[in-house]
């Protein structure tokens, strides 16, 4: 793979950092950027790490990369990623030139504001602990539905408006970055959220010096299962740094349930929580979260467990919640669950919240599955 022809266009509202990947345009559009420095390919290289693993090909950079990043990738991070993904050959990033490209003495902190549980808990943690935050960010690196094809733009805009309002309430500027880097990645490496998000921070060319990444899992839930980078970003993100930038995972000791508990009284969460995986339906219903998808029901049920669901009546439709929750719990009992589902289900079991009706519905689901297996 060859990266070449880097350029930066400065427009009134947005800047575009662009280059060619084997002749095809790969870009970041940004609302904020540090435009006073030499152009480096760092953001593109980091965004394409999943592609390097997927294609098992070196990345050749016809231009300049940060010296520290280049060494860190070739000597530490890429060998670790190859080990995790059981790739036996040596893969490298090979730039024409390296330099300590951006001499910066400042320390500008930023974290994401998707308004999901992880990002809101991170923002609250910063304010609770008087740690200065300079920017909030909203990135479109494929997580708004582009992986699944449809409705990505509509999802993105619906979620962005909510985050803009939340950022105004919090009182910090929102850095917006969009990239098409994810469109080059296929197969098992498509779940490359952390590298894509970090690449969006790097694309600000040193405007952001420290990015606090709200990882999906606590350290206790992390593992080195290949593919989805969320499994191990607690361990690998601290290894990803440049002469002007570093990153790490936030809330390392807090599981999803603890994070929900942490934000239950946070007024920004009460007004703007957005965890829905079906924002198109939510938009049609004129509610922030559809309260029908699995993630909505799991989050709302956790809030019910903490007696805080009524605080979130602006973002969930509580009538829908009460009509759907029995079927959702039954579905969870009857299937193989994910890490977050297991954590939730265990908490409901512990509190004796599962009703006879929910068990009965689960039994019927299992019986139906067994009968259909025998039938086939
Ligand atoms: Zn939903």
Residue-by-residue DSSP string for 246-296:
EEEES-TT--HHHHHHHHTT-HHHHHH----S-HHHHHHHTSSS-S-SHHH
* Tokens linked to 114: 């998707």
- Count how many residues are written for the chain: 376
How many A from CA of 322 to the centre of ligand 1?
Answer: 14
Other beta carbons less than 10 A from residue 243's beta carbon: 18
Q: Minimal CA–CA distance to 140: which of 125, 128, 157, 127?
A: 157
Instruction: For residue range 50-87, list pLDDT tens digits in order.
Output: 899 889 999 999 999 999 999 999 999 999 889 888 88
Structure confidence at residue 104 (pLDDT): 60
Residue 259 is assigned to a structural domain of this protein: no
Q: Is 90 exposed, middle or buried (0-12, 13-18, 19+ CB in 10 A)?
A: exposed
How many A from CA of 147 to the centre of ligand 1?
Answer: 17
Structure confidence at residue 172 (pLDDT): 97
Mean pLDDT on 219-242: 75
Same-domain pairing of 303 and 174: no
Same-domain pairing of 52 and 115: no
Structure confidence at residue 191 (pLDDT): 62
Same-domain pairing of 127 and 245: yes
Structure confidence at residue 147 (pLDDT): 44
Structure confidence at residue 146 (pLDDT): 44
How many A from CA of 345 to the centre of ligand 1?
Answer: 18
User: Which residues, at least 6 apart from 355, have a Cβ–Cβ distance to it below 8 Å?
Assistant: 326, 329
pLDDT at 98 over 70: yes
Instruction: For residue range 107-161, list pLDDT tens digits in order.
Output: 899 999 999 999 999 999 999 999 899 999 999 987 665 444 567 778 888 899 9
Max Cα separation, the chain?
69
pLDDT at 40 over 60: yes
DSSP state at residue 74: I
Same-domain pairing of 41 and 159: no
How many A from CA of 298 to the centre of ligand 1?
Answer: 10
Q: Minimal CA–CA distance to 164: which of 31, 10, 315?
A: 31
Same-domain pairing of 172 and 114: yes
How many A from CA of 338 to the centre of ligand 1?
Answer: 17
Same-domain pairing of 196 and 174: yes
Phi, psi for residue 144 in degrees, rounded to 5: -105, 20
Same-domain pairing of 155 and 94: no
How many A from CA of 313 to the centre of ligand 1?
Answer: 14
Mean pLDDT on 264-268: 97
Same-domain pairing of 90 and 118: no
Same-domain pairing of 114 and 80: no
Mean pLDDT on 244-254: 87
Mean pLDDT on 98-106: 70
DSSP state at residue 237: G
* Contact in structure between 190 and 181 (CB atoms under 8 Å): no
How many A from CA of 295 to the centre of ligand 1?
Answer: 6
Residue 56 is assigned to a structural domain of this protein: yes
Residue 364 is assigned to a structural domain of this protein: yes
Instruction: For residue range 166-223, list pLDDT tens digits in order.
Output: 999 999 999 999 999 988 887 654 567 888 999 999 999 999 999 999 877 766 676 6
Distance between CA atoms of 47 and 41, rounded to whole angstroms? 10
* Tokens linked to 48: 């394409």
Mean pLDDT on 91-99: 95
Residue 330 is assigned to a structural domain of this protein: yes
pTM metric for this prediction = 0.89
Among 39-53, 225-239, 320-334, the least confident range: 225-239
Phi, psi for residue 318 in degrees, rounded to 5: -70, -25
* CA end-to-end distance (rounded Å), the chain: 46
Domain count for the chain: 3
Q: Quick check: helix, strand or coil at residue 101?
A: coil
How many A from CA of 241 to the centre of ligand 1?
Answer: 35
In percent, the amount of the chain with pLDDT more than 70 equals 91
Residue 356 is assigned to a structural domain of this protein: yes
Same-domain pairing of 85 and 65: yes
Which range of residues forms the domain containing residue 357?
A: 279-375
Structure confidence at residue 64 (pLDDT): 95
How many A from CA of 245 to the centre of ligand 1?
Answer: 35
Residue 27 is assigned to a structural domain of this protein: yes
pLDDT confidence bin for 101, thresholds 50/70/90: low
Same-domain pairing of 292 and 213: no
Residue 273 is assigned to a structural domain of this protein: no
Same-domain pairing of 122 and 234: yes
Phi, psi for residue 98 in degrees, rounded to 5: -125, 150
How many A from CA of 172 to the centre of ligand 1?
Answer: 27
Distance between CA atoms of 196 and 180, rounded to whole angstroms? 10
* Contact in structure between 91 and 78 (CB atoms under 8 Å): yes
How many A from CA of 281 to the centre of ligand 1?
Answer: 8
Residue 261 is assigned to a structural domain of this protein: no
Residue-wise burial string across 161-170, b where 16 or more C-beta atoms lie within 10 A, e elsewhere: ebbbebbeeb
């Amino acid at each position: 793979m060859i990266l070449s022809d880097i350029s930066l266009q400065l427009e009134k509202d947005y800047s575009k950092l662009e280059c060619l990947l084997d002749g095809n345009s790969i870009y970041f559009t940004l609302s904020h950027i540090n435009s006073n420095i030499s152009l480096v390919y760092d953001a593109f290289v980091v965004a394409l790490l999943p592609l390097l693993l997927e294609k098992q090909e070196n990345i050749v950079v016809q231009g300049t990369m940060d010296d520290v990043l280049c060494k860190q990738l070739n000597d530490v991070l890429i060998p670790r990623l190859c080990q995790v993904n059981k790739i036996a050959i040596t893969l490298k990033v090979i730039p024409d030139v390296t330099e300590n490209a951006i001499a910066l003495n400042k320390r500008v902190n930023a974290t994401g504001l998707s308004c999901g549980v992880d990002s809101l808990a991170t923002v609250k943690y910063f304010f609770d602990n008087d740690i200065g935050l300079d920017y909030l960010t909203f990135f479109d690196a494929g997580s708004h539905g582009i992986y699944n094809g449809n409705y990505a733009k509509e999802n993105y805009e619906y979620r962005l408006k909510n985050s803009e309002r939340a950022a105004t309430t919090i009182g910090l500027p929102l850095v917006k970055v969009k990239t098409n880097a994810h469109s080059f990645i296929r197969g098992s490496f498509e779940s490359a959220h952390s590298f894509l998000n970090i690449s969006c921070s790097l694309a600000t060319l040193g405007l952001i010096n420290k990015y606090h990444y709200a990882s999906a899992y606590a350290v206790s839930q992390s593992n080195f299962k290949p593919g989805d980078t969320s499994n191990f970003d607690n361990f690998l993100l601290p290894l990803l740094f440049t002469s002007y930038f570093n990153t790490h995972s936030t809330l390392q000791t807090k599981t999803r349930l603890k994070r929900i508990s942490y934000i239950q009284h946070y007024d920004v969460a009460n007004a703007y929580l957005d965890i829905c995986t079906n924002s198109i339906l939510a938009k049609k219903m004129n509610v922030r979260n559809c309260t029908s998808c699995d993630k909505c029901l799991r989050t709302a049920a956790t809030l019910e467990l903490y007696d805080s669901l009524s605080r979130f009546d602006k973002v969930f439709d509580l009538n829908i919640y009460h009509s759907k929750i029995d079927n959702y719990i039954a579905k969870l009992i009857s299937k193989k669950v994910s890490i977050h589902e297991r954590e939730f289900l265990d908490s409901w079991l512990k509190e004796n919240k599962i009703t006879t009706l929910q068990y009965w519905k689960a039994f019927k689901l299992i019986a139906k599955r067994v009968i259909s297996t025998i039938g086939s």
